[in-house]
Structure 1
C-alpha cells in the first residue's frame, strides 16, 4: 500500500502542531519538521504512528534535502508553516533580524517547496503545496516590516511556483491567516484588553483558531481544490476587507437618519 505523505514544517507547536494533527486525521502519514527536535517529537508522540518527527532547519538546504530523502515517496502535500517574527521599526531594526525573518519565512519556504517539487517531478507525480503567508503580507503592519516583507514575498513566490510547476501537476497556493489565537500571537492575546480590541476589529467578531487555518489548508491540499492554484486565501474573519468598518461617515450617509 502506497504511503501518502504530508510534510508540515514548524510542526513543533502552535498552528503547525494543529496542522499535523489534522493531516493525520485525514489519513496522511505526516512528516513533522521543526528546528526544535524535542518539541516536534512531543507532538508526534501525541499523534501516534501516523506522525514521523524530524529536526529540520528549513533555511538550510542540506538539512531539507536530508529530511526529504527520508520519505519513502514524494509527498502529496507540503505545508510551509515554519516562521518567525522580528519586531521593530525599520529605522532601528537590526540587519540580523531582517535576515533571520527572510531566511526562515521566505527562503525556507522556497527551499522546502523546491526540494519537494523536484522529487514530485522526478517520480512523475503531482501534489499540492500550501505556503503559510499572513494578512501582514497583504497589508503592512507597524513595527513588523521584516515579517510583512517576508510574507508578501511568500504570496508572490506562491504565484510564481504555481505558474512554473502547474504543467507537472503541482498546485501551489497560500493561506494568509489573520488574527489567530495561537502560535506567535498568543503573547499578544494573553492581554485581555488587547484581546478584546483585536476581536472587536474582526467583522465576524472573534479571533480565529488554529483549526480554522488547518481546515483551509487541508481543503487547498485536497481534490476538492483540484482546479485552484496560484491563489492566496485569507483566513481572517473579514478583517482585511473591514478597514473602513470603524470609520465614522456622519448622518448625511446614514439611511436611518431623519
Structure 2
C-alpha cells in the first residue's frame, strides 16, 4: 500500500511503543516522516530509512514545541500534511498528594504539547499557498483513562489530561475544518508498551485482562498504528472531530 506516497508527516513520541509503530506504518506506506522525541538514544534505535528524519526535542513549552516543528518542517522540505501526537507520560500520584509539578508534568506533555505542535504545523502550512491548498490530518492519542480509571492506579491527573485532549480535539476540528484540516483522536486501552505495567505480575495481569477486557489480551502498538493511519488517510476524508476507541472492548464492561 502507498496511501501516503509523497506526503510529509510529523510524529511526536516517535521513540515510544505506539509512536514507533506509527512511524513504521507511515514509512511503509510511502510517507516521509519527521520523528520527534526527547529520548535521543531511543530515536537512534528506530530502523533507518531514507525518508526518516530524527528530531530530538522536549515539547513541554510552546517555544520548544514550535522549535521542534520548525526543525521537522525544514528536514521534510515543507509543511507536514499529517501530524500525529503520540508523546505521552503516565505520572501517578494519589489525589491527596498531588503537587503542582505532578499535575503540570501530565498536562504539559499530554494536553498542552499536542496543541502547540498542531498550531505550529498549521501555521507552517498556511505560510504557502500550495501547502494550504492540500488537505491536512491531525491525529491525537488520548486514552480510555479519559473516561475510566480501572487499574487501581492513582491516575487522576493523567486522566484529566487525556479527557482534556478529547475535548481539545473537538474544538480544533471545528475551528480548522474550513481550512481543510481534519482533527481526530484515538483512545487506546491497555497496550503492550513500556508505559503499561499491568503485566509486571503476570498472574494478576492476566486475571485483570480476563475480567475487564472482553478480548482478554493487551493490544499491540501496531494495532493502534493501523487505526491512526486510517484516520490520517483519505479513507477518512469525511471524518473529523471523532474519537475512535481501540481497547479490546474494555469500555463495554
1:149-164 correspondence runs (5 A): 149-164=160-175
Distance 1:127 1:183, change over 3 A: farther
- Match in the other structure for 1:26: 29
Larger Rg: 1
- Match in the other structure for 1:180: 191
Residues 1:135 and 2:140 aligned together: no
1:128 offset after TM fit, Å?
Answer: 0.3
TM-score (norm 1): 0.88
Find the aligned partners of 1:114 and 1:189 in 2 and give their Cα distance.
37
SS of 1:183 mapped into structure 2 = coil
- Tell me if the contact between 1:159 and 1:231 (Cα under 8 Å) persists in the aligned partners: yes
- Count the aligned residue pairs: 238
Find the aligned partners of 2:236 and 2:145 in 1 and give their Cα distance.
25
Structure 1 residue ranges without an equivalent (≥5)? 243-258
CA RMSD of aligned residues (A): 1.5
- Match in the other structure for 1:246: none
- Match in the other structure for 2:59: 58
Find the aligned partners of 1:54 and 1:37 in 2 and give their Cα distance.
8
- Match in the other structure for 2:176: 165
- Match in the other structure for 1:197: 207
Structure 2 residue ranges without an equivalent (≥5)? none
1:3 offset after TM fit, Å?
Answer: 4.5
1:1-258 correspondence runs (5 A): 3-43=6-46, 46-70=47-71, 71=73, 72-123=77-128, 124=132, 125-141=134-150, 142=152, 143-185=154-196, 187-200=197-210, 201-242=212-253
TM-score (norm 2): 0.89
1:47 offset after TM fit, Å?
Answer: 3.5
